[in-house]
Structure 1
Amino acid sequence: MSLPPRNPDELLRARGADTRPDARFEPYHYRREHDGWDLPLDQETLRTEIAIENARSIMTRNSSPDIPFDRSINPYRGCEHGCIYCFARPSHAYLGLSPGLDFETRITAKPNAAQLLEAEIGRRNYAVAPIAFGTNTDPYQPIEAKLAIMRACLEVLSAWNHPMSLVTRGATVLRDLDILGDMAGRRLVTTGVSVTTLDPELARKLEPRAPTPATRLRMIEGLAKAGVPVRVMVAPVIPVLNEHEMERIMAAARDAGARSASMIPIRLPLEVAPLFRDWLLRHHPGKAAHVMSRIQAMRGGRDNDPRFGTRMRGQGQEADLLHQRFRLARKRLGLLREDPVLDCSLFAAPPRAGDQLALF
């Protein structure tokens, strides 16, 4: 898949992608062509746009055999963090938008998420199990500081004593330590903080609008001090670029308060592969071929292997050695493999005004 040329009218500031490849389901494809006129351009900085969706449902179910949850909620579509490697980029194609710049500049928010959540878990036939947040896009991306959709969801879950897991790299999670700490005291929440690199320069290129590595370590520290179980997610591990940091990331996260650790080699599904190749050529042209050859060595000779069981861990000698290194480091650092088991037994509707009080 070849990428279209960059729009010269747009001035990009802290963006991961450089262009807008076509959404794969669209019947028409657009290409910019030079019209022969060399006129001076009036460039405008590309801004993030937030669209509001009045969602009809909020909980997504899945039966994937290599995912440890069966239900999830994503309060936002798209993610302004702009991580170039994000496996969620292809999901923007379902909206008729590009997995490139559109994914990180055209965000959809679902302000009624908390109301839909409460209606779902309040159904008579609802069977409680932990709900996963942050499985596709980050619920604590920048706009959450203003809209507080995730906080409203936390308030519902806390009131119902409903267990949940959370994956984020957004510093706004520290705003909600009051709720998360209280839920942790009832064994209702676990968190995962993604730390890709400790190198701020590499992070700025890979994840241009995500918090810095130092901020993410402070997030781990803040969550841990509030009593919230924290897992450091060394993900994605990218050969040549950040794989040499794996043990140092785990040690720094352990020192900050992380209890457990996980690792995933980089995945490049669908449109992510050409976007990542383009990013490599822009930022690391001398390493691009080496990086891709090492990725393919873990993916059966391809850019990506989507099969259940191998998509999260890779295959072959390269992947086996990486996982062996990770297991040894986890054991040496005293980090756990699994998160604490969440308590589903407390789940109940919160008391309402006028309800008869229980005797026992």
Structure 2
Amino acid sequence: MFHVKHSGVKGRGAQSGAVSARFGLAEREVDGDWRDHVETLDGPPVKLRTNVTEERPKSILTFNQSPDVPFDRSINAYRGCEHGCVYCFARPTHAYHDLSPGLDFETKLFAKPEAAALLRKTLAKKGYTPRPIALGTNTDPYQPIERSYRITRQILEVCLETRHPVTITTKSDRVIDDADLLAELARADLVAVSISVTSLDPVLSARLEPRCAAPAKRLAALGRLVELGVPVHCSLSPVIPAITDEFLEGIVARVAELGVKSVGWIPLRLPHEVAPLFREWLAVHYPDRAGKVMSIVRKMRGGRDNDPNFHSRMNPQGVWADLIRARFRVACRKAGIEKARIVLDTSQFRPPESDRQMRLL
């Protein structure tokens, strides 16, 4: 499926910009001698820059009927994600737009600046029934470009105005930039925030998630949200055997010290183009254990790189999966963390006022 070999791309998660063969797109093959020849003539490759294209969609709220996810509607203010997590299950979505799930996914981004306005229109529709809106289900709502676009903040402002419940999933401490809104939403039981912590090693995280906040910053953000009274969840996501699983007990113990009451773990998923991208990353960064990692992954996934089926995709099987579950249970028990369910209030919802009503004020 992929035909581009690299020795490593500094500052990025994917190690190549190969395109998908799933949709009949042209494959790119770079011959080693030709690459050397180009570098002789033109010098080394120019550092990859992030480009953002603004989109004007007609709708912003996406509904789903997936039986194994805890939400039925979501908003993704951005497509693509500069965080560059090599394991990101959302990477294949870029292939639908003739773009690479590899480097294009983390360098060619799309922003939806009218997201909040579209949300207001949706919430104003007659018969709309509120249920929690999930932010960050596909790409991170607090990735670096949020600092300038502030689309996520605008969405939260609409949720606060309409008393609409919302959940946030992120790997960024930038979520604290909206502490004022989050605290106010939390006082009305309208928000919950999940922060993913993959390891406690900043060097490993820089390889695995090159443009994410360092682990210490994510932990600090969890602690700050606890202080603000915002319901938080720490997700150990993903747990990668022989790479990140060694931090499982340490992360659980650390977040418990911060006052976090809800913790969970998600196994590594490698759908479609993510599998070869991850193998390529292993070959560059961990060639000594690449075979071991993938062997364990396959043993947890019924002999395959990935299990796409509902329920089982989130519930790996086999001895290795059972071992991780047992370790997680013991770690939670030692840390004093019990299963905690965060329930948000949908009864306070009030439709946004129309433009006509706003003008009369």
Instruction: Determine the C-alpha separation between the residues in 1 that align with 2:240 and 2:54.
Output: 35
Matched, 1:14 2:11: yes
Instruction: Determine the C-alpha separation between the residues in 1 that align with 2:185 and 2:37.
Output: 62
Deviations 1:299-343 (A, max 9, x none): 111111111111012112211221122123223323243432100
1:192 is paired with a residue whose SS is strand
Instruction: Determine the C-alpha separation between the residues in 2 that align with 1:86 and 1:287.
Output: 21
Q: Superposed, which structure 2 residues align to 1:82-101 within 5 Å?
A: 82-101=84-103
RMSD, matched Cα: 1.8
Matched, 1:240 2:242: yes
Conserved in 2, the CA contact under 8 Å of 1:52 and 1:110?
yes
Q: Which residue of 2 aligns with 1:198?
A: 200
Q: Which residue of 1 aligns with 2:54?
A: 52
Q: Give the drift of 1:208.
A: 0.4
Conserved in 1, the CA contact under 8 Å of 2:19 and 2:25?
no
Q: Which residue of 1 aligns with 2:174?
A: 172
Q: Superposed, which structure 2 residues align to 1:1-360 within 5 Å?
A: 1-6=1-6, 12-23=9-20, 24-33=22-31, 34-35=33-34, 37=37, 39-42=40-43, 43-350=45-352, 353=358
Conserved in 1, the CA contact under 8 Å of 2:18 and 2:28?
no
- Amino acid across the alignment from 1:40: L
2:222 is paired with a residue whose SS is helix
Conserved in 2, the CA contact under 8 Å of 1:12 and 1:46?
no
Instruction: Determine the C-alpha separation between the residues in 1 that align with 2:100 and 2:358.
Output: 48
Deviations 1:153-197 (A, max 9, x none): 000000000001110011221110000010000000111000000
Point out the more displaced range, 160-169 or 321-330.
321-330
Conserved in 1, the CA contact under 8 Å of 2:113 and 2:149?
yes
Instruction: Determine the C-alpha separation between the residues in 1 that align with 2:158 and 2:27.
Output: 43
Q: Give the drift of 1:201.
A: 0.8
Q: Give the drift of 1:256.
A: 2.1
2:110 is paired with a residue whose SS is strand
What runs of 5+ residues in structure 1 fail to find an aligned partner?
A: none
- Aligned residue pairs total 353
1:342 is paired with a residue whose SS is coil
Q: Give the drift of 1:354.
A: 7.4
- Of Structure 1 and Structure 2, the greater helix share is in 2
Point out the more displaced range, 334-343 or 345-354.
345-354
Instruction: Determine the C-alpha separation between the residues in 1 that align with 2:176 and 2:264.
Output: 22
Q: Give the drift of 1:27.
A: 3.6
Deviations 1:226-253 (A, max 9, x none): 1101101001001111112101101111
Q: Give the drift of 1:40.
A: 3.3
Q: Give the drift of 1:259.
A: 1.7
Q: Give the drift of 1:344.
A: 0.4
Conserved in 1, the CA contact under 8 Å of 2:3 and 2:28?
no
- Amino acid across the alignment from 1:273: A
- Amino acid across the alignment from 2:23: F
Conserved in 2, the CA contact under 8 Å of 1:60 and 1:72?
yes
Deviations 1:73-98 (A, max 9, x none): 11000000000011111111111110
- Amino acid across the alignment from 1:46: L
Conserved in 1, the CA contact under 8 Å of 2:80 and 2:110?
yes
Instruction: Determine the C-alpha separation between the residues in 2 that align with 1:21 and 1:354.
Output: 52
Instruction: Determine the C-alpha separation between the residues in 2 that align with 1:76 and 1:297.
Output: 34
TM-score (norm: length of structure 1): 0.94
2:301 is paired with a residue whose SS is coil
Deviations 1:87-132 (A, max 9, x none): 1111111111100000000010000000111111111111110011
Instruction: Determine the C-alpha separation between the residues in 2 that align with 1:246 and 1:105.
Output: 31
Q: Give the drift of 1:12.
A: 4.1
Q: Percent identity?
A: 46
